[in-house]
């Protein structure tokens, strides 16, 4: 054995050298070259190595892009994210909502192609307001309007709109498109209703029934081309990206008609 484990033994030297050399080359490629070629442009070498190794670093270092470019949202979504709102909160929300009525309607039902807010789950409205404020969701109109709202203001607004009754549309409804109920497992598209059906009540998920077709279409396309990206797990982008234009129309028409 002594003779085997010696650098004089060419089997030992050759095999250990070859395996180590290969490991070194593979590590250089995997930890330096590939991250440098594919990773974020501004990241330094150390960050590239850490990210290739799977180390969890703080998301932003000095000089890195701002939070909205790195994370989909800074809202922590959970079942208990909204405390039950009392009448006082709803009243404050109603006052603040004067600012919103120009587009979203006096009672949260919009005639202007903007989304109806009446009856939307409070968590859904609150998350969108927060995302506009932190620029995780971009809108030239909404971002300046929420600039000065406090967290309390946004919670109250959301509570007020959740309190308002939804006026059911006179739509036909009918048989839902297959994507709504089944999704398309072969393309890894989940069923829309798995989150958006009212009975599911997932936190921070908006109700789509009766929303204006123009708004629904614009959002699906924005998710598809990545201009909107405040969906936490990229669930909307992954689904919308794969939709055929006909399917987008089918979904928009059906949800708008409800």
Query: Can residue 76 be called a binding residue for another protein (CB under 8 A)?
Result: no
Q: Is 59 a binder of another protein (CB under 8 A)?
A: no
Q: Cβ of 158: how many Cβ atoms within 10 Å?
A: 26
Residue 244 in the binding site for another protein (CB under 8 A):
no
Residue 4 within binding range of another protein, rule CB under 8 A = yes
182 binds another protein (CB under 8 A): yes
Counting contacts by CB under 8 A, is residue 201 touching another protein? no
> What string of DSSP letters covers 131-181?
HHHTTSS--TTHHHHHTT--HHHHHHHHHHHHHSPP--------SPPHHHH
Q: At its nearest, how many Å lie between another protein and the CB of residue 152?
A: 29
Please select the residue that binds another protein; options are 36, 51, 96, 103, rule is CB under 8 A: 51
Instruction: Verify binding: residue 1, another protein, rule CB under 8 A.
Output: yes
Stretch that binds another protein, among 31-39, 64-72, 122-130, 249-257 (CB under 8 A): 31-39
Round to the nearest angstrom and report the end-to-end CA distance of the chain. Answer: 80
Cα(238)–Cα(231) distance, integer angstroms: 10
Q: Where are the alpha helices (DSSP H) in 2-120?
A: 10-28, 34-38, 45-53, 67-70, 87-96, 101-104
Q: Rounded to an integer, what distance in angstroms lies between the CA atom of residue 185 and that of residue 44? A: 39
213 lies in the binding site for another protein (CB under 8 A): no
Q: Which is nearer to another protein, 25 or 106 (CB)?
A: 25
Residues that bind another protein (CB under 8 A): 1, 3-5, 9, 11-12, 15-16, 19, 22-23, 25-27, 29-31, 34-35, 49, 51-56, 178, 182, 184-188
């Amino acid at each position: 054995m002594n003779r085997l484990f010696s650098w004089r033994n060419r089997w030992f030297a050759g095999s250990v050298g070859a395996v180590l050399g290969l490991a070194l080359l593979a590590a250089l490629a995997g930890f330096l070259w590939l991250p440098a070629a594919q990773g974020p442009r501004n990241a330094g070498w150390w960050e590239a190595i850490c990210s290739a190794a799977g180390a969890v670093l703080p998301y932003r270092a000095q000089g890195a892009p701002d939070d909205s470019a790195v994370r989909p949202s800074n809202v922590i979504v959970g079942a208990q994210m909204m405390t039950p709102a009392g009448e006082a909160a709803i009243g404050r929300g109603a006052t603040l909502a004067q600012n919103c009525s120009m587009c979203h309607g006096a009672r949260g039902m919009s005639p202007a192609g903007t989304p109806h807010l009446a009856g939307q789950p409070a968590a859904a409205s609150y998350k969108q307001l927060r995302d506009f404020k932190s620029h995780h969701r971009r809108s030239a109109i909404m971002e300046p309007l929420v600039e000065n709202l406090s967290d309390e203001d946004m919670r109250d607004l959301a509570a007020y709109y959740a309190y308002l009754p939804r006026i059911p549309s006179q739509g036909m409804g009918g048989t839902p498109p297959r994507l709504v109920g089944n999704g398309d497992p072969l393309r890894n598209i989940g069923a829309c209703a798995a989150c958006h059906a009212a009975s599911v009540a997932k936190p921070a998920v908006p109700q789509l029934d009766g929303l204006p077709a123009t708004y629904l279409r614009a959002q699906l396309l924005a998710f598809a081309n990545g201009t909107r990206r405040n969906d936490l797990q990229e669930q909307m982008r992954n689904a919308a990206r794969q939709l055929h234009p006909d399917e987008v129309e089918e979904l928009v028409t059906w949800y708008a008609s409800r």
